[in-house]
Chains A and B, each alone.
Chain A
Amino acid sequence: MTARRQPQGGEIDRAKRLSFTFDGRTLDAYEGDTIASALLASGIRIVGRSFKYHRPRGIWGFGVEEPNAFVDVSNVAKGGPNVRATTELVRDGAIVKSVNATPTAAGDRYAFIDRFARFLPAAFYYKTFMLPNWGVFEPRIRNMAGLGVLDEHWDVAGSADQIHHHCDVLVVGAGPAGLTAALKAAEAGKSVLLCDDGLRPGGSLLHRDGEIDGQPAVQWVASTVARLRERGATILSGTTAFGIYDHNLVALNQRHTEQLDTLWRVRPGQIVLATGAIERPLTFGNNDLPGIMSADAALAYLRRHAIVPSARIAVMTNNDTAYEVAAALTQAGAELIVVDSRAEARIGAPHRHEGVKILAARHVTRAIGRNAIDGIELHDGTRLEADSLLIAGGWTPTVHLYCQARGRLAWSDKLLAFVPDADVPGIAVVGAANSTVGLGEALASGARTAAAFGGNTTAPQSTGHDLTLAIAPTWPKPRGKERAWIDYQNDVTTKDVELAARENFVSIEHLKRYTTLGMATDQGKTSNLNGLALMAELSGRTIPEVGTTTYRPPFTPVPFTSLAGSSVGVMLNPLRRSPLEASHRADGAVLLEYGGWLRPAYYGAGKPDDEIAREARQAREGVALFDGSTLGKIEVIGPQAAEFLDFIYYNTMSNLNPGRCRYGFILSEAGIVYDDGVLMRLDENRFIVSCSSSHVAGVHAMLEEWRQDRFDRSKVFIHNATAQSATLTVSGPNARALLETIGVGASLDDAVLPHMAVTDGTFDGTPVRVTRVSFTGDRSYEVSIRADRAEALWARMKQAGEAFGAVLIGLEALMILRAEKGYIVIGKDTDGTTRPRDLGVDAPLAKKKADFLGRRSLFTEDATRDDRRELVGLTVAGATPLQTGAHGVVRDGGKFRSIGYVTSSYFSPVLGKPIALALIEGGRRRIGETIMVQHLRAQRKATIAAPCAYDVEGLRLNA
């Protein structure tokens, strides 16, 4: 006999019928049903298969503590894998699939694995699969592991909302204690955020008996919520506080039915944890059969969804709280028997009902049934028929958040559970989470929190029956005949814990990792204490001596979409845009990402190699126009600027005259080349560091750090003005003629503006800075102009350039031009080991008197080795360039050994042959030597040459 829905009652809207499928079977539900309640009401007992043994599993709980009922949901606006059926509302048309079951939970073809359970004890995989090696077995085992199935075609629609929230008081849990605490705070004028992981506020008051200040508990909840709203409190239902972080930052995940979840980052002045308690299972043979359920959950399904779990119900308990459940289900028409492990004299609960049969001083030793329970066996051998077994094994306070905030626990003999001990600054723990049992105690503990801010601590009064507990210890016992489950979700049995103890994994942290007890999505909410108790028994210690594992976030799983927020797709890694982006698009640029910028790779619709070659060739013949706006423009200003830059650069910079530029290296403290670039001196106290485009943020941070650490902070300042100006580069034999045609308000005479000089000018009334530097080896000018006025100058350059054979070039052509000259790109032609000497730049180390960044590291044994990899060129026969990344190899001891690798390689249109740069061991001494270069097992001959392959004399700089 399975569960049935009563004709009246519950919070469901019977006027709104919904339809969904579970494992292919169409089921009905009502608006307000969770997937779990709808499955129960439809008589579905097996809702999934266990993680390891593929045992049939039914619904255990009502809320976030559920260890069994996870499902994959699709065909709705918001679905997903591993959705907890107890917290997810049914939506019309949803396709719900059980997890870890093939093809269905009821007919899982892997159910046979359970027959081999004796060969699959805890950590069996550490002891087997050793030969030939783990890698042989891993793919299959990984494939079998896990629960839900990811939809590989799933694509995120939009992004999850993320909200920062500040309030005076955050109350976690909207049960009696939480509601009272929230109301007291709101009445004291505090801003309040109240969150609860249930579908609506009320907590246990929504299904447990209670009367507060003379009104039914449910009415009190409604009026309290209304009063909170009147006072401006923010109330979030379906919202789980999953972590407390530094400085009491609390993270909440708000579940939505139609859209992605919302992540809240809450920074409250005071935190009130009213997180309640979770009912524990009891341990006996086959205690995982479908139909075995938490007694409290059964009451919640009855009162909130009008579901009676079955006609014949047994309740097993060791405390008083089961009797309210028993009475309610009896009143609902169930035939019910209570098996109480305590002596009858202790049974004095107010909810004893005349129709309830009680067997005192007995306990269940075994559940009978194959795919679902159909009876129980007691320790005295008595067998009872039952379609459901409800377990009331006591209450474990939900102390996860308190412990995450470094709260300490103490053992409570009253509750037989760990409870909060010492206070944590800024955090109050109230209600069942802090060991209260009855409603009156919970209300009082909530009201007491008002003392922290001078509020009224008078508590609402519990005017009805109040719960009692009177719990007796009923812990798992070792050496049982049958398997008894400690952890439903991870398939951990008492035998697994016994095995761990035998193998000396007696530390609770070791036990967890050896058996997986308390891991995964439920984090041991229902299992931890039973596991600790059994280990205590096995190791001859008390439960407090065994202790608990470390509580860490998240309390419940948080969707990756929630954590990612808007940082998905193109929003994940923001790219910078050039001020000339619109113009590049209009000119047919193919845009790529280069060092965090969206930049033209080349222009034109032809084959990429052809277009790039065309650009490189025309640049040498006429004049190239290149957008160099991305180059760093970091100002260093102040009377100590020159001294500062002497320290920052490998090269001496303090003797640079105003109006002049110098190329130099910036090293890391390890003496590795971090960046290169041109330094411009505008006046005595003002320099511009023109660093690599992709290194602007890094160089800026490095400069600021050294300024603050080593220099007089009132005499040198760093301003990053990279975005202030666009830099338009004109390069090639006709560069000067083109600029003279346009007019930039400055003399371009070589005597006035020689190579490596800078001057001011104007374009249409806007100041410009004209710098003669070259990254192509040809005569070049960089014209920097306010970014918001760059389009006009660029358009003028293009228009005037037509008469001079001008060509727009992208990054790819520029790479060819600079490689022809042997000019390096840091990070491409260097790596994390490259020092200045490796690039042929020795002089500053020998001559520079001032100390500089990285200097000491240039004298280490490694830095002075004579077989270091040095920058060289490589030439090859034929027209096919070497592969970038191909290794130079020599035969050494019968094997090939790498002596370096190709860093840049292109076909040079102007030279009509391939060119390459490489870092090769002792490269400069080997110029003229032929080596083998290997790529994907194929080898080619290459001859080591000087890096510069074009215009070796440098005549084109002034041509």
Chain B
Amino acid sequence: MLDLSSRWPSVSLTRPMMAPGLDIRVLTGFRQHLVSGNLANWCRLSGLGEGVGALELAAGPAYTARLASDRLLAVDAPAVATALGWHADGFAVTDVSAALCVIEMRGENASQIIARATSLDPRGVSPSAACAFAGISGIVYRHGDRDMVRLHVDHGLTAHVWMWLDQAVSAIGAI
């Protein structure tokens, strides 16, 4: 019987990936929630906005990223707005804190990663932060400043994304 343990090696996410103009690391400790439904009501309750789109700039410790017309991802939203399940105000909340791995790409070459991983136009913004990143579903936006990109991906695929980033960093370094 085959053993694929070495074909797909274990991937350590604890060590940052460094390259000229680029620092990539996994961030932990975020409370993340999927919110669907009446977003206006949820925003009133949480005090947060309806979410940044792809490559749009989010700010502060608590913020939201828009995923669809009736769905957003809340990051560190107040507890009053993140009780799980159905809310009479017309929205549903699910905890995805451990489901989505947050990867931060910082530096002037973060845009080079975006150019390889997505078809997004860096000069503009998209209403939705959900997009294909390196061939898998991701949530991509800027946080803090233009050279800081955050990516949320399914935790089960983080090893793949990390390997992909490693290749992309090599390609950028070879240019």
List A residues at the B interface (Cβ < 8 Å). 158-159, 161-166, 191, 259, 265, 267, 566-567, 570-571, 574-579, 581-582, 585, 589-593, 597-598, 601, 608, 635, 637-639, 641, 682-683, 685-686, 713-714, 717, 719, 721-725, 786-789
Please measure, in the bound complex, the distance between the C-alpha atom of A585 and the C-alpha atom of B10, giving whole angstroms: 9
Query: Given A566-B134, A574-B135, A714-B90, is A582 in contact with B164 using a C-beta cutoff of 8 Å?
Result: no
Which residues of A sit under 8 angstroms from B34, Cβ to Cβ?
Answer: 719, 721
Whether A577 touches B158, Cβ cut-off 8 Å, given contacts A163-B115, A259-B174, A592-B2, is yes
CB distance from B31 to the nearest CB of A (A): 11
Measured CB to CB, the closest approach of chain B to A795, in angstroms, equals 17
- Bound together, the chains give a CA A575 to CA B159 distance in angstroms of 9
Q: Is the CB of A724 within 8 A of B170?
A: no
Using known A-B contacts A576-B157, A592-B4, A786-B97, determine if residue A571 contacts B115 with beta carbons closer than 8 Å: no
Please determine whether B37 and A714 come into contact, CB atoms closer than 8 angstroms: yes
B123 to chain A, nearest CB (A): 6
Contact present for B155 and A721 (CB under 8 Å): no
Chain B contacts of A585 at CB under 8 A?
5, 10
Interface residues in B63-106 (C-beta closer than 8 Å to A):
70-71, 84-86, 90, 92, 94-100
Binding site for A on B (CB under 8 A): 1-5, 7-8, 10-11, 28, 34, 36-38, 70-71, 84-86, 90, 92, 94-100, 115-116, 118-123, 134-136, 154-160, 163-164, 167-168, 170-171, 174
A166 to B122, CA, bound (A): 8
- B17 to chain A minimum Cβ distance, whole angstroms, is 15
A residues less than 8 Å from B95 (CB atoms) = 721, 724
Q: Which residues of A contact B8 (CB under 8 A)?
A: 570, 575, 577, 591, 598
- Asked if residues B98 and A788 are in contact (CB atoms below 8 Å), the reply is yes
Closest residue of A by beta carbon distance from B12? A582
Q: Which residues of B contact A637 (CB under 8 A)?
A: 36, 85-86, 92, 94
Q: Is the CB of A590 within 8 A of B3?
A: yes
Of the residues B1, B92, B119, contact of A590 by C-beta under 8 Å: B1
A566, B164: Cβ atoms closer than 8 Å? yes
Q: Give 5 closest A-B pairs by Cβ, nearest first.
A: A576-B156, A637-B92, A574-B160, A723-B99, A685-B86
Are A724 and B99 in contact, with the CB atoms below 8 A?
A: yes
Set B5, B86, B168, B174: member contacting A591, Cβ < 8 A: B5
Residue of B nearest to A629 (CB): B156
Contact A574–B157 (Cβ < 8 Å):
yes
Given A581-B10, A593-B4, A686-B86, residue A570 in contact with residue B163 (CB < 8 A): yes
With both beta carbons as reference points, the residue of chain A lying nearest to B84 in the complex is identified as A686
Q: Which residue of B lies closest to A575 (CB)?
A: B8
B7 nearest CB neighbor, chain A only = A570
Contacts A164-B116, A570-B163, A719-B92 given: A590-B5 contact, CB under 8 Å?
A: yes
18 A-B pairs (CB sep. < 8 Å): A162-B116, A566-B134, A571-B164, A577-B11, A577-B157, A577-B159, A637-B94, A638-B37, A638-B86, A639-B86, A683-B86, A686-B85, A714-B37, A717-B36, A719-B36, A721-B95, A724-B98, A786-B97
Question: Are A592 and B155 in contact, CB atoms less than 8 angstroms apart?
Answer: no
Whether the pair A577, B156 counts as a contact (CB closer than 8 A) is yes
Evaluate contact between A598 and B4: CB separation under 8 angstroms. Answer: yes
What is the CA–CA distance of A165 and B119 in the complex, to the nearest angstrom? Answer: 8
Interface centre among B5, B38, B90 (most CB of A within 10 A): B5
Is the CB–CB distance between B70 and A713 below 8 Å?
A: yes
B-chain residues with CB within 8 Å of residue A578 when the two chains form the complex: 156
Contacts beyond the supplied A165-B115, A571-B167, A637-B92: 19 A-B pairs with Cβ under 8 Å? A161-B171, A162-B116, A166-B121, A166-B123, A570-B8, A571-B163, A574-B157, A577-B159, A582-B10, A590-B3, A598-B8, A601-B3, A685-B85, A717-B70, A719-B36, A723-B154, A723-B155, A724-B95, A724-B98
